Every structure is written in structure tokens, then in C-alpha cells.
Chain A
Amino acid sequence: MILIKGSKIFWVTPFLGWLILVAVSIACKENRSHDVFEFPDQISYNLHVRPILSENCFTCHGPDANKREAGLRLDIASEAYAALKESPGKHAIIPGSSIESLAFSRMISSDPKEKMPPPASNLKLSDHQIELIKKWIDAGAVYEPHWAFVPPTKTPLPKVKNEDWAQNEIDYFILSKMEEKGLDPSAMSDGLTLMRRLYFDLIGLPPSSEVLDNLEENGMDPEAVIDRLFKSAAYGEKMAVSWMDVSRYADSHGYQDDYYRTQWPWRDWVIHAFNKNMPYDQFITWQLAGDLLPNASKEQLLATGFNRNHKITEESGAIDEEYRVMYAIDRTNTLGKAMLGVTLECAQCHDHKYDPISQKEYFQTYAFFNTVAEWGIEEKTPGFSKKSPAKYPLMEISDKDVKELLQFINMPDSVARVNRLMAGMTKGTNYNSLLDEAKVLKVAVMGELDSTRNTYILERGAYDAHGEKVEPGVPASILPFPDSLSKNRLGLSKWLFDKNNPLTARVFVNRIWQELFGVGIVNTPGDFGLQGNLPINQELLDWLAVDFIAHGWDIQYLLKKIMLSSTYQQSSIVKKEHLTLDPENKYLARFPRLRLKAEEIRDLILASSGLLNKEIGGPSVKTYQPEGLWEAATSGRGNLSKFQLDTGKYLYRRGLYTFIKRTVPPPNMMLFDASNRDACEVERLKTSTPLQALVMMNDPVVLEASRVFAARLLKKDPKPEKGIAYAFYSIIGRKPDETERKILSKHLTSFLEEYSSDNKKAKKIVDVGRYPLMDDIPVEKHAALAQVITLIYNLEASITKA
């Protein structure tokens, strides 16, 4: 059976079920170097050889001193060229002579005892890889420093044939690669599509039909639209979404009984900071070290909540030190992944296997985060019961603070706050203390110990295996820590933003690119190290990074720069040659079509139906989810053991505000690849499963929005067919064509007939969700139009950014 018609390449057989769809949607992350099958004239160490050595050799002959075999190190030229300790007179690599290079002869040996890598390692070099290494050695075995550890510089713009196409610098870099590959750029996107793209990328919401009409009438100048959207408060919300993943933000502590926490004022700050267009260096410095700034303000202190968002245990049997250490490790690893794009965590138990980062350097970095005045579990600490929503060190936020200094916090009154905290809890030992505590809003923030706490290398990463004592420091191969900087988190921030730090700007610029194009220029956004993939276009990445720094780490400048390029403004229509020449769209000869994020899907549905509550910030909300999920998973303890649905306008807040109970995260968002907020994440999977279709067809979020939208349309015009085009326009962002109108009208007519003869069915269809029902609308019309709108929400185009 051919399920998928139309395309000659796509066949689905009945034997391929569940999983086949996945592959279609997964972007490949595995290609270790570009164009595997091409044989380059000039062999580059970084581009061609290092990925092979890193994958196959460095585990035993790389940076990890403890696991190094035969004393041989192949990742550093001088060591690879040196006389071999175990084979006197011989050298692993002799530049210019592969025949005489012992490393090479071991690679081509047919003796299993001699062969490298050893067969037992399950690693094997292909003939192609062996040939590359041979050519490289014969050409002089020239090593190069790892690209990402060398500070970026701006290279001159490449020459391109089609200069007219380029609107700014970005286009030169993109176009030159395209021309190399024989690809032509696509035409400019049509105006409406581009507007929808800009809206989702800047505020995470679809443009309303009124906005689109207005734009069509008065012109659609992208720059003017961008400037206007920067001023919208929804911009901060949109930018906060991915920062929540990076920051592993959640509304519960994350272990075992999984109690409620109140970190949301920190989230309000993030929205505020983006809306103020706080420069990236300041944004990060406040979050890493706001408490250490001279005369730190309450706002700066609040920003440090970033590093207290990690999971915190309340399991009474836990060993305090084990968990305290885990929190410092979490912060260290988050710094690595989020800001440096380096897998620091691989050096926690031993020297890094691939990157030049020693275990000692790992714990030197860890030392910056090891002096927080915190406990692993707080149970026995006077003044803070284990049920406290915020953990020590913490800050208290008074009504006065909110009126004066922290106006961006959306603070509900204390009654509402207490109710929220006590939800599902009516009695119990902690009831009274909790009631007292709830009256004051508390947020866990950073704060240093008064006394010193020494840091040791933890052998094998074990919390109680103290090794050598270390001082705060950083991996020197990235950039040595200048003596002039103080050895605390503030110094660390300065090191991050030192003009010679090769990673910070690249990593952030790459993530912004990923946000807009779905895939970063480096498609391993958390790993710029030796095992990470090479940038598809390093000159572009470096140009953007240098430009970003030169413009004061201005995030809106960066966004606008990219959005005003032809690259960004291209059409997303897929041509046949795209699929044959560049099926993954690595070279961006078209704008990629991307499924919306979980939050954006929700926001699209609420916004287009008119249900959206536009309030900014405040405590997270519990919206529709299937019954019994929290109850089935809980031990019965804890103030989140029972799910209590929010009411009224709180049901219609943006996806960003959906309550994240870590142990049972909201299923409709998880099915669309949202993060469970266990740890820092810099990228979401993009998968496609039948369960997503079930959500779109049956989630009350969709069904309620459909019937509310239908009612709204019927109020305006009692003829249901009049509503179709408007609904389509509001959801898809363009007007339906003739074919689409016909199919949708047919759908409507058929349901009108069905419901006219069976009113009961129609009543059931509109009986979904808590939003008040409008009784004065004929139910058969209401239900039939709701069916049409649900159909539109389920279209591929609806939840796709095109």
C-alpha cells in the first residue's frame, strides 16, 4: 500500500508503522564532516582528519592522561611526532611519510592484535578515512588548532555571482556556498507568509487578520514590522521560551514528592530583561553574578535565580553533601552547555576524552559555584521547613518591592498566592507553617558562604572522594583566566565576555540562528568541541559573532540583521532540485518550513480563537490535561500530589506560563518535544508521532478554542459559511484559495446536515472546556462551524512556520 502519494520517493508499506514518520522529521546530526564522499585536493586537519582521529583514536590517545595507552597522544603535533616510548626509534607520525608512520601502519594492519583501533572497541576506519589520513600525513601532517578555540575574526565578504540578491553581508556568505553547490536562492517570500514568520520569530504569536489586512493595505516593510514587534511586550515572552529550557526553569523541585517552588518572579525578570533589550553580556553577568556586583540591587539579585532553577531534593533519606555537590555540578555543566557550548560534564569523572579539558580544570570551574550558602536538603535547617517553596539562600519580595523596584513582577495578592501554594492541601503537619511562609513571596537566589569552603577534585566524580585541592579557574585551552580578574563568579563573567573568549559570542549567535532557521550554523549547539560538528559556514558564524560583539551584544540588533537578509526573507516553497541537491536544506536555498514549538502551538490556538489572556508574568498556571496523571504518579505526599485545574482567565495564558511539575510534565507539551526541565537544554528534538495528531484532534485546548471561535464568528455573522475564510485567515495567515474554500464548505455543509437532524450530537460537540457557552446561537451551526475550525487547526500549515 502506498500511503503517501504525490512524491515518487515516498512509500510507506503496511509493515512500516509507528516509526517511519520519525525519520522524515529528524534532522541529521551525525555527519561528522562535510561531504563525506568528496575527496578534497587539500586535506585539512580540522575539516577532514581531526573528526576521524577524535572519533576513533582520542579515547585512548587523547587528552585524558589517565586512560592514555602506550604514552601516545595523537591530538597534539609535538607528541604525535615524538619518538615512541614503547617503540624506540619509531614515531607514531612522521610528517611526509605515511609508510614510516607507525600509527598509520597499525591502522592498515591486518593482524587483529596490531590493528588500530582494536576490533574490540567496535570502531573501524573506512577505506576512505584511511586514505584521508594517508594523504594528510604524506602532505606533512599539519595540525591546526581547533577552530572554536581560536577567537573569531571577520573575513572579507566572499565574491558571489548574483550580487543583486544580497541585501546584507549574511547573504554573501550564504550565497557563496549555494553557488559552490550549484543551488539558486529562492524568490522572496510572499508578504503574508513573511509577516507570519516575523510574528512567530519575534513575538511567538500569529498576526491577527486585522493586522494582516492593515499590513496589506499600508505596505509590509519588514523593518518597520520588526521595530514595532520589538516594542511589544510579547517579544520578551517569546524570547523567554527558549531561555526557560536553557535555565531548566520549573515550578516544582523535581525529585520524589516534587513540591511546589516559586521561581516565577525570576521568569518575570527574564521577560522584562528581553523587553528592555538588555545586552547579552549584562543579561548573563546579572544571572551568573548579580549578587556580587557592587551595591547589588534587588533586581540584580533576583536575576541570579538562574542558577537556583536546578532540581533540589527533598527526599528525607538523601545524603546532604551528595546533593549539594550535585547542584554545583549542575551549574558547572550549565555554564558549559549554555554559554560556552562545551561538554564540560565529560571532564567530571576523568579528563575529557576529546577536548583539552582536564578533570582538574573541571573542578576549578566548579569551584566558582561551590561556595553557595546552600544545603543539599534543607530539612534540618532552622527557619526553613522542607516544604518551603524557595530554598536558602533566598530573597523575599514584598509588595513594596513590587511597587517600587521590581515593577515587572506580576504579583497576585497574598490570598491568591497562598491558595496557589496550598492547592490540593487542606491539612497536614506542614499546613500551618506553609500558610505562614506563603504570605511572603520567596525566590531562591545565589549567595556566598561567609566562611570558605574548599574545593577538591572529586575522584571519579564521587561527592565524597576528595582529591587534590584546587583554586577557581577555567579550561585554559579556551582562554586562560587573567590574573587581573577576581576569582569569583563576577570574574568568571568577565572572562566569558573577554574580547579573546572564542566561544561566548559564537555560541549565542548560533542559538539565535537555530531559533530562526531550526538548525544552527553549528548543528550541535551544545558542543563546539572536537566531537561537535563543524560549522556549515564558519565565516558566517564568525562574522556574526564579531559583529554582535562590536554592536554591544545587542540581541535585537542581531535579530534584525538576520531578519533583513534575503536569506531569511526567502520563500519556503520546496523545489525538486532542493530535494535532490540539498534535501536537508543545509545551504538554505529556501527558508525552512518548521513545526511550531509546543508553546507556540498553544499560543496560536488561543490567539486566533480570541481566547488568549495577554497578561504578562505571574505564577504559572495549570491548564487542561487528562485527569489523574499527577494522582497516579504521586506518593500522596506533597502540595502537588493532586492536580487542580486553574479557572477563568488563567486557563487561557500563553504556553510559557504552563505549570511545569517536573516529575509529571504537561503531556500535550511533552508530546510536541518540550523540555522536561530536568537539566539545561539548548535544543529541542523535532519529531513527529501519531500521538501529536491525537493531541491536535482531541485536546480540549483545541476543541474549546474551536467552539469559542465559532461562536465569535456566528455572533458577527449568523451565516456559518461566512466565518470560514476569516477563521482560515486568522489561523493560517492567508486567505483560502478556491479549492480550499470548496473543501471547507463541503465539510461545513455535511456537518450542518448531520447536526440539524441530531441536535444532541451538536450539543456534545460544543460542550467542551470551561469557557461560558453562548446559548443564543443555534447549536447545529455552532457545532458545524466548530468542526470546520478544528479541521483548520489540524492542517499542516497551521502549526508550521513557513
Chain B
Amino acid sequence: MPNQKTFKHATLIQPVIERAQTDPEHPALIFINPDNTEETISAGQFHFQALAFAQALQRIGVGQEDLVILVLQHSKVLLASFWGALYLGALPSIFPFLTEKLDPEIYMQRVKALVGHSEAKVVITYPEFKDELSRLLSEANCQVLSTDDVPEVSADPPSKPVWKDFSGDKIAFLQHSSGTTGLQKGVALSHQAVLNQIEAYSRAIDLQPNDVIVSWLPLYHDMGLIAGFVMPIVAGIPLVLMSPFHWISDPKILMWAIHNHRGTLCWLPNFAYNHLARALRPRYIEGLNLETLRMVINCSEPVHLQSHQTFFEKFSPYRLKEQALSSSYAMAENTFAVTQYPAGKAPHVDWVQVAPLQEQRKAVPANEGDQGSIPMVSCGLPIEGTQVEVVNDTGEVLPPRQVGEIILRGNCMLDGYHMRPDLTSETIRDGWYYTGDMGYIADEHVFISGRLKDLIIVGGKNVYPQDLEAIANTVKGIYPGRAVAFGMFDERIGSETIVMVCELRELADEQVIELLERILRQEIVKQTEVTLADVRLVEQRWLIKTSSGKIARSANRDKYIREFLD
């Protein structure tokens, strides 16, 4: 099982080079630009663009194993520079791009912090950022390559290729999660692990040469990076790509891209099902036809039956097939997918009783719709080469339907966290990766029921509560160290929203509280792009602490519900 070699290529770059040489006209990528114009990039063009970046990197002295941070918009340049770094044997990692909500100064400091602790050798960015980043990064011995310095398509390809025959064990790239905490964890994946994932996952979704993938997903996240970029490029499946900012400001473009390009596969986080169903007024989708869509896969945040139903009700008149609704459980640490619901049928729903689930951590079956029961949507079966178990606090494997921590091992796991042996040995024990997710197995299907780790997933984006609490600590008037952030599921949005409760330094009148609340909201959005659903500023000693003096997030969440919502 682990490290079994079945793919005919040893690295990710070989199939792409091969296709560029044997079938250069093959459509690799159709990019939908922010002005809604489209650009088709062939396998040959993609290869040349990547090559141009590889050469430019080589010229400035970047070599194998050097870390390359990409500070670029979701664009064809981002894809080409990522692949160019792979050609060199350097390690690309994509940094989420600056948005209008974020404070540019704080953003640049984040880039600097990442470069510093990950010892990056080069940052690729736009000419307008070059001077400032060069200045910020000069001490860190990190160069800045401007996209201006790279010719768009190399008219004169090198006679001597820049790529070498790497072995499959070589690290291919890093995946970082977002936020101060997330950026500390660069998931390092080898070529072989990514190839194993692509091979096993292709089988799980029955990937065919006539498939067309349509995606708006950001590439700094595993779902977008693998399903919405690396897999289609390596497997030679045409990819229709648009930027997440373009999609969020105009959600209908995704559905019309599926219609226009006869899209067959699409991955979405749960909130997007609700968002599309709410946002697309009939005037936007007259004549829309989704009959080609064979799988729309719910992934990267907990799957909710209600979201699938809402989505299906909305789009079945537009010929969406019910069996197209699918689900997957995935994480960067396993390259991408851990499980996938088999192609061709809608995921089965396990109705379970709420009380035993919460009190005894047991998934006791109930009849559909019974009072005191909830529907759990299956995330499917482990993909080939990946093994999943559920364990208790002491690491013992639990029987089916018993809720515990999900652990996994297999041939597409991370090599480790980049330069973080401490974190690696903390999460990988005896070859098993401890996910921090809670769930159970029933009839071999994996169900996710909650989270052990302190993480909030908002609209598919990982948010660490400690990052938000650290920002609250800097707001004058809020008692330092006395702030808590937690997630609350919002059925309308189909995702978690974030609530913060903070203790006041001293008693304040309503006007002051109002002002502090506004400052906190503004600081949070400026630094993290997160909009808080609710903020409560409370008197001292409101927050519950654990015996060791830490703020207990779940106990305070319960108290918040009791005091403010019930």
C-alpha cells in the first residue's frame, strides 16, 4: 500500500511535458477573465509559459529545493509560475492575494513573516509590488521577481531543458493554510504522493478524457489547487477557470461556464450551494442547461443535507441531475481527498439520534425525519491507497458508529510540515496522521460530525480563532487575553459564521461599547477579511476559563447561546 508505484510517471512534470510535445494543441485551460472574455491556453502554450518562468527563476539563481512564494492574483500567470517552479525542482507555494478589504501594510508584513520563517528564496509578484517587497525582504536574503521580467510566451524555447529527472520522493510544492497560524504550517507533498492522489482520485470519480472541469476555487487551498488545477493539468482534462473574486461578485458565471463549456465536474464548499441557490434570480439563468454536469462535489466544509436539497430544488428545472450531487472529505495533509462518494449516485444519508451522538458519542440510527434525529451526509469511501480509522482519546480504534478522532495513513500523505519537525511528530504518529476531525464509520462510509481542533471554517476558508483573539487583544478597551472566538453554523448561509465575546477592561457606557465593537470589527476585517456575525463586549470575569487558566472556547460558546440567543 504505502509508496506503491503504479503511475507510469515518476513526477508531475513529465505528463505535462509529454503532452506539450505529442499533442500541443490539446486545450489545457480556458480562463474566464474578470471582463468575461475567455482565453484558451493549449497544452503547448502552457508548457512554454511555465518554461519562461523556469528560465527566469534559473537566471536569478533559484535552484532545486528553493522555496518560491507566489504573490499573484488568480490568473494564468499564477498557474504558469507555479509550474515553472516545478520544472526547476524548486518548491512553489501560493500566497492568498491582497484584496480591497485587507490592509496592504499588514498584508506585506504577512508576506515578510512567511518568507522569514519558511526561508523562501524568491517571491514572484507584480511590478507594482516589486519595490516595496524588495525593500521588506532584503534582510531575509530573498529576491523579488516581477512578472514583467518574464516574457509572456517564450518564442525561443531552450534547446537544453531546465527540468531534470527528479525522483518521485522529491518534494513538489507546499500548501499553506491561511492566517497567522495557518501560515506556520506548510504542508510538504512529494511528487509521488500527489501522483498517487491523482490516480486514486481519478478512479474514485471515474475521470474520463471527455470530462471538463469548471472551477472558481482559490488555488492556495487544497481543493482548488488539486481539483481545480494540478489534477486537470496532469491528467490532460480541460479546465475552465475563473477567479474566486469574479465568482463571488457574479455567481452566475459559474453556471454559465458549465453550460457553455459542457462542464461535467465541479467542486464546491457547502456554503456555495446555498449562495448559488439564493443569489441566482430567474432573470440570471433563463435558458441555463446543466445536463452535462455529472458530479458536483461538496468538499472542504461540513456537508449539509439541507444545502444539497436547496441547490437541487433550485437547479433541477435547469436539468441538474440529482445523482450529480456528491461529497468528499479532504485535506491538504492527504494532498486532497481522503474519501469520495462513488460517482453516479447521490450520497446516502444516515439519520441518527441527536442525544446519543452528543452524550455518548454514538451514531444510533433513527428513522428519516424522526424527532430528535439529524441527517448525516456520507462523505463516501476512502480512496484507494488511503486507510481511515476512528480512535478514542487514548488512540484505541473504535468500532463502527462510535464517534472519535479520524486518523488516516496511505500513499498520498504529507511528507511533513516544512521546517516544523515538532508539528510533524505531533500530528503523525506511527505513520498515522491525526486529523483533528471527529466522525464515525458506518458500512465503510465515513461521516464527519465535528472538530477536535480549534478551527472555524467560514465559506470554505479556514480561520483559526487564536488569530482573531490576538487581534482583539490589541484593541484598547478590551481586556488583553480575555477574548474568545468561535463558530456557529448558520443554516441560511450553509456555513459557519464567527462570534466573538470579549471582556471590557472597565465598565463602559453604551456609546463606548458601540465604538469598541466597531473598531474590533474593522480590525478583524482589515487583517483577516473575516466579517464577524456577532460581537459581545461583556463585563470582567464573564468568560469561562479552564483549570489551567485558558479560555475555554466551547464552554463560552455554550454560555453565549444560553445568555444571548435562548
**Chains A and B form a bound pair:** no
Residues of B within 8 A of A (CB): none
Residues of A within 8 A of B (CB): none
